[in-house]
Chains A and B, each alone.
Chain A
Amino acid sequence: MIRTRGLTKRFGGGQLAVDGLDLTVPRGSVFGFLGPNGSGKTTTIRMLMGLISPTSGVATVLGESMPQSVASVLPRVGALIEGPALYGFLSGRDNLVRFDAADPTADPRTRKQRVETALERVGLSAAAGKKARAYSLGMKQRLGLASALLQPRELLVLDEPTNGLDPQGMREIRALVREVAAEGTTVFLSSHLLDEIEQVCTHAAVMSRGRLLVQGTVAELAARAQGRLVVRTPDVAQAAEVLAAHQVGALVPGEGRVDGELGASGDEVLPKLCAALVEAGVRVHGFGLERGTLEDAFVALTGEGFDVAG
């Protein structure tokens, strides 16, 4: 669906924004494009959408090379890039009419119907007559999504679609993404929120400082992070001793909890461990494995926290 080979962008100031990117987005996937702010996600998306031309390398979208095939590719792609941008002096509805009119393949006779359907889909029908400048950020974001959904699309590119939304708004957007994906549209979703990617994506790629660190299915990526044994207890020191005696490594004692790596021994030792703790008089409040998350995988990959890259 999307394929890049050696995609590179160096800006005028000599700053390397994207460096030799090899990205493959499979058809039908919900692809999470992950990375800290400033890691080159938006620049990549702008290259994929033909807004900026790469310094070197190639990008193909829907099987055609960009930015040369913009006219034949983009009518089949819906996009939300770096937040919504609207004409404040036009109503929400007229904003959509304008973006629809910009697409030369859109039939003017069915424009009204398309606009109303898109408005309804994002729940903006009631506010469609209001001037866009009076919209809240969440409403603007929805209107941006509506313009990406004016036509049935083969690919939907969403750059930070939940930025600035309240939790309820985030949930709604994610539900919408799942709905669109279920209709067979491939979704390319960039985000710096790990749990967002984990919740909605089937595949993911991680970028840092303009380079691609890893890509694969979300399950594969999360599997890179080992599960950790977590014991909740008020007797932290005592529990740590018992665990150490049973070859549990990398122990981290914390406030009311101890966690460590099980290592090669696997799940079979868990009942014995638990019994040993109880036998030693440790008051066990909780005992179990915590599944590896994308965040753990990311920290393991980059060796850094999830902060803004310099």
Chain B
Amino acid sequence: MSRAEATEVEASRAGASPPGAVLVAGRRPQTASGFLALFRNELHLTFRRMRTKVLLGILAALPILIGVVVKLNTDSPRGGGGGAPSFIAQTTQNGLFLVFTALAVALPVFLPMTVGVVAGDSVAGEAATGTLRYLLVAPAGRTRLLAAKFTAGLVFCMAATAAVALAALATGAALFPLGEVTLISGDTIGFADALLRAVLVAGVVAASLAGLVAIGLFVSTLTGSGIAAMAATVGLVITVQILDAFPQLDPIRPFLVTHYWMNFSDLLREPMYWDGVWKDLGLQAAYVAVFGSAAWARFSSRDISA
């Protein structure tokens, strides 16, 4: 800014502002609380949406449904069909096992679907409604906005997992006996101990979805249509899981984002078997790094013309 211009500003300020005016146009410092405000607002925005509430509601209804079905099945005289997965069989002995059953059922399809909706819509949805341009001229900052979206996505993963786990715990407690838990390895641990493991498992499941959030965010930066981004993300998860079922694809299967998801059950052994869980978390971190960078590279250089 030239000196002449600077004096002009001063003159115009002195001339125009009424006496006692507190607010003056000019540079304001960026503050830490101001910086974080967008992250808080993003969470607020995500969880205030009807869509988010409905998704969480569906996730919470799932364990109730499973619990009721299992209960009816065991009560009926014809019950005890042979093919039930080990978790489900355990559930009848201990309600806490419904938490693990519900998470195991929700993880391949329902959880990724909801996460895909939230992450896929994150940037594309704002572009579609045009609010993206107003956020950017505010100026939100492209990296900051992306970080806020990613954070909100992660928090949604936790909320989604918690919705399943808590609904399962409540349903399990209502329909089945609680008490000592017999683990997969055959050992028995106390209820408090088992509850702790449930929390641990839920944490691992939530973290397993981190890679998917990054993928969804990247897809979201590619398009201006929220629906397209959601569909692409959800479709990708399903495709990847189908690919993971082919033994012929062995060389690439360990790199598929969903490959180690079910390893959380290793935490239900005595002692806990962490190798598979670490593999899963490491893979998720790699996906976050790769797709997070891709999303950033794409978003920070893109022309916003929506």
Contacts and interface: CB of A to CB of B under 8 A. Distances in A.
A85 B127 CA distance: 10
Interface in A36-79: 46, 49-53, 62-63, 70-72, 74-77, 79
Contacts of A75: 27-28, 139
Contacts of B1: 62-63
B41 interface: yes
A185 interface: yes
A109 B15 CA distance: 29
Interface in B115-133: 129-131, 133
Most buried by B among A52, A53, A105, A107: A105
Interface in A80-138: 81-83, 85-90, 94, 97-109, 111
A83 to B, nearest CB: 8
A53 B40 contact: no
A104 B17 contact: no
A71 B136 contact: no
B145 to A, nearest CB: 8
Given A46-B305, A85-B134, A89-B50, A104 B38 contact: yes
B66 to A, nearest CB: 31
A183 B16 contact: yes
A52 to B, nearest CB: 4
Contact of B133 (A51, A89, A98): A51
A28 B13 CA distance: 10
Given A27-B8, A28-B12, A107 B134 contact: no
A154 B1 CA distance: 13
A102 B45 contact: no
Contacts of A154: 9, 25-26
A153 B31 CA distance: 19
A87 B45 contact: yes
B226 to A, nearest CB: 13
Most buried by B among A71, A75, A77: A75
A185 B144 CA distance: 28
Contacts, number: 147
B41 to A, nearest CB: 4
Given A85-B130, A184-B15, A107 B34 contact: yes
B248 interface: no
B84 interface: no
A153 B37 CA distance: 21
B137 A81 contact: yes
Contacts of A153: 25
A94 B40 CA distance: 13
Contacts of B34: 103-108
Contacts of A182: 16
A103 B37 CA distance: 9
B30 A104 contact: yes
Contact of A97 (B24, B41, B134): B41
A211 to B, nearest CB: 20
Most buried by B among A28, A100, A102, A103: A102
Please classify the interface of chain A as helix (H, G, I), strand (E, B), loop, or mixed, using the class held by over half of its residues.
loop
B149 to A, nearest CB: 12
A46 B304 CA distance: 8
A76 B144 CA distance: 19
Contact of A87 (B129, B136, B137): B129
B23 A152 contact: yes
B48 interface: yes
Contacts of B35: 104
Most buried by B among A49, A85, A86: A85
A24 interface: no
B26 A105 contact: no
A100 B138 CA distance: 7
Given A183-B17, A184-B13, A152 B25 contact: yes
Most buried by A among B131, B141, B144: B131
B139 A102 contact: yes
Contacts of B131: 85-87
A101 B41 contact: yes
Contacts of B30: 71, 104-105
Contacts of A46: 133, 303-305
A185 B136 CA distance: 21
B137 A49 contact: yes
A97 B31 CA distance: 17
Interface string B132-172: 01111111110011000000000000000000000000000
**Across chains A and B, which 5 residue pairs bring their CB atoms closest together, nearest first?**
A85-B130, A102-B138, A184-B16, A184-B12, A63-B1
9 contacts: A70-B139, A79-B134, A90-B45, A99-B135, A107-B33, A108-B34, A109-B33, A152-B25, A184-B17
Given A53-B303, A98-B135, 20 more contacts: A27-B5, A28-B8, A49-B133, A49-B137, A51-B137, A51-B304, A53-B301, A71-B141, A75-B139, A97-B41, A101-B38, A102-B41, A103-B34, A103-B139, A104-B31, A107-B31, A144-B134, A151-B25, A183-B16, A184-B13
